[in-house]
Structure 1
Amino acid sequence: MNEAAERRLLDPEAHLLVVEDDGEMRNLVARLLREAGFRVSTARDGRAMWEVLESPAGQPDLILLDVMLPGPSGLDLLRRLRERHRTPILMLTARGEEMDRVLGLELGADDYVAKPFAPRELVARVRALLRRAAPADAMPAERSRRLAFAGWTLDTARRELTAPDGASVDLSGAEYDLLLAFLEHPGRVLSREQLLEVARRRVSVDPFDRTVDVQVSRLRRKIEPEEGSPALIKTIRGAGYVFVAEVTRA
């Protein structure tokens, strides 16, 4: 383990950035997260967000980003953030605004929380995203394990996906968890509820939630990039999804 990773493990205070224009809500979220042991910076709009990101305080470990902001919306900021940063992003959305959540996931958000939310749920989601985003060298040493399928290779120790041509393919934390769930259960139909649980994305399961469908769509575009290429993930109507390629372990 390198020195930076060791310091990270010894220091439990992850740095979070809360971008929320409503002062009361911003203060509430910041207080909840500070009480949970996190170091928190806040911003009321996109301009203030960029100032924090460019400040000497350094990059946050996770950004909580509201959808409805003055000036550029949260979705606009999300798009720009994903062009420059791989920082985990948790979207804050109004309850019932499904399209905002779907668009956010399509643009690269890692998770979302609908307002009003339960304090314990918010903290649990933040901790889950931080766990998924932790670098491999910050984790306890483990034997490298490679899962191969259709010319692709997933290294679970390094959390790296390699294409048949040898190129490294970027995966978000949610996409990695979803792919790993499929590779560990090839040929088995996995329901949306099972995938939500395996990927540790939700504290409670809403049967009408489209999170998994959006993430499967994004994953398909990465591992089935060519028009007419064999399907690796098949939809089983009314049941869920099944990974149909043969998986070998090394």
Structure 2
Amino acid sequence: MNRIDAAFERLKKHNETALIPFLTVGDPSVELTLDIIAELEAAGADMIELGVPYSDPLADGPVIQRASQRALTGHVTLRTCMETALRAREAGSKLPFILFTYVNPVLQMGVDAFFDEVVRHDISGLIIPDLPIEEADEIKLRAKATGVHLIPLVAPTSHERIASIVSDAGGFIYCVSSLGVTGERSDFYGQLNDFIETVKKYSKAPAAIGFGISNREQVARLSEICDGVVVGSAIVRTIEEKIPLLEQESTREEGLLHIRQFVSQLKGTEVYER
């Protein structure tokens, strides 16, 4: 069974909502990304989105754009991100990993070679935000053939296209909570409840809400209407703020603990100092 399916099955039995943190691989370094993955898992994350740094991230706001630039300065590539997932698995992580990448790096690698590598590096799902549904057939077929979930993004503005976007979704459906790019917000789309109901009408796949979620109150509120909550910019910003601590060996544990505590409070669990 795909790790994503197993995670949602487990959470459903306990009437829990998935917490899905996003981080940019290589920000501030690959080695620290591995440390941060371990902290996210210890804090109660249920699966992790591994963001591939990209020079023109159309779906991302300024916080994740800065993270991408820092990672690109360190020469992090699509292949680096896959290798990081495998290294985390070899270090003992049990979480499903979801690769968040844009379509151009996939095409540059070649679709067949890309999926061979995704499987080899034990990646459970893919999010490709700039892949138009009209051009997704080849990638969808390869994803299904390899047992990897291609997770669709659907926005409130999708309207009559919602059914075609989500009808054969696997893993979960990424429901965009707000209009525009990623970033922390205090308000979400006014008809979010109706939007999620519409998505669920056309698909039995779990529905996860992302874009703009940054605190425990928002996670708890949105958990009432969905199966998973994605938190990106707030976590990436927390990492950014702690870079001075993370980059010094003498203060690294303190920086990692801050990140773990932040994610822990999103999940509603307690973390004590080591």
**TM-score normalized with structure 2 length:** 0.31
Bigger fraction of residues in strand: 1
Bigger fraction of residues in helix: 2
- Larger Rg computed on CA atoms: 1
**TM-score normalized with structure 1 length:** 0.34
Q: Could you say which structure has the greater relative contact order, defined with CA pairs below 8 angstroms and 6 or more residues apart?
A: 2
